[in-house]
Amino acid sequence: MSRIRRPGLAIAVILAGLALAPVATATPGPHADTGALRVSHAWIHLPPPGAATAAAYLTVSNRGRTPERLLGAVSPRVQAIEAHSMSVAGGVMRMRLLPRGFAITPGATLALAPGGDHLMVIGPRGPLRAGERVPVTLRFAHAGAVKIDFTVAADEPADTPAMPGMAMR
């Protein structure tokens, strides 16, 4: 009798796994999860035709215990990707290269969004097209390389968190 019951049990376990599967894939858009870091909402603002640069945004949550830094990124699709700050002085918007990137303390979320700090995509190899997915390797001080696709879009994707432009706790 026990030989008959065991396969039944195995099938029940598999069915339970299948029932959970849709929950695990419900998160919209590409994301990457290293355990300590969760990266999501990665997108490149569609630049005007012929533009040499484009701004890119993403969200990174540091769920680990180690202070982290997003130093920059690379992609075979573009010449360079830099961490830039954005500030306004006397009504003039100014961008600056952040050689040490963006700090993400344990428990904090870095949410880059239009109008604020960003990743500067420099020198696309051919025009960036709306809907295109650009493969990017993010460089973190501790986690090292993390791969994620950035989606090229004219507007902020609908699944982007409402809070723009700052590190939140």
| Footprint of Cu ion (CB under 5 A) | 84, 95, 120
Closest distance of CB 35 from Cu ion, Å: 30
Q: Which is nearer to Cu ion, 121 or 143 (CB)?
A: 121
Q: Which is nearer to Cu ion, 77 or 84 (CB)?
A: 84
| 62, 109 contact by CB (below 8 A) | yes
Q: Which is nearer to Cu ion, 36 or 86 (CB)?
A: 86
Closest distance of CB 120 from Cu ion, Å: 4
Q: Which is nearer to Cu ion, 41 or 118 (CB)?
A: 118
What span, in angstroms and rounded, lies between the C-alpha atoms of 21 and 15? 10
Among residues 126, 149, 157, which one has the least CA distance to residue 45? Answer: 157
Torsion of Cα atoms, 53 then 59 then 62 then 67, to 10°: 30
CA-based torsion, 101, 164, 86, 126: positive or negative: positive
Q: Which is nearer to Cu ion, 69 or 84 (CB)?
A: 84
| 11, 35 contact by CB (below 8 A) | no
Closest distance of CB 121 from Cu ion, Å: 9
Closest distance of CB 38 from Cu ion, Å: 24
- End-to-end, the C-alpha distance of the chain in Å comes to 56
What span, in angstroms and rounded, lies between the C-alpha atoms of 18 and 95? 48
Provide the residue type at 124 as one letter.
P
Closest distance of CB 168 from Cu ion, Å: 21
